[in-house]
Amino acid sequence: MQPYVLTREDVNNIGAAIKEGGNIWSSEHIADFKQNLKSHYRTAQNEQCSYCKRVIRGEFKMVLDIEHILPKGERAFKKFMFDPKNLCVSCKRCNMEIKGSDTSFIVDGTSFEDEFYASDKYLFLHPHSDNYWDSINYSVAIENDIQLIQYTVVNDCPKGLYTYNYFKLEQLEIDIVDEAQGVETESISPAIDEDLALEIQELFQDP
| Across 160-184, average pLDDT | 80
- Rounded Cα gap, residues 170 and 191, in angstroms: 34
- Rounded Cα gap, residues 54 and 51, in angstroms: 8
> Residues 71-109: pLDDT tens digits?
999 999 999 999 999 999 999 999 999 999 999 999 999
Confidence grade of residue 206 (pLDDT, cut at 50, 70, 90): low
Which SS3 state, helix, strand or coil, does residue 155 take? helix
Q: What is the pTM of this model?
A: 0.83
The tally of CA atoms less than 13 A away on the side-chain side of residue 50 is 29
Q: What percent of the chain shows pLDDT beyond 70? A: 87
Report pLDDT for 189: 40
Specify which of 20-29, 182-191, 195-204 reaches the highest per-range mean pLDDT: 20-29
Domain boundaries, the chain: 8-126, 134-204
- Rounded Cα gap, residues 40 and 38, in angstroms: 5
Select from 122, 133, 55 the least CA-distant residue to 90.
55
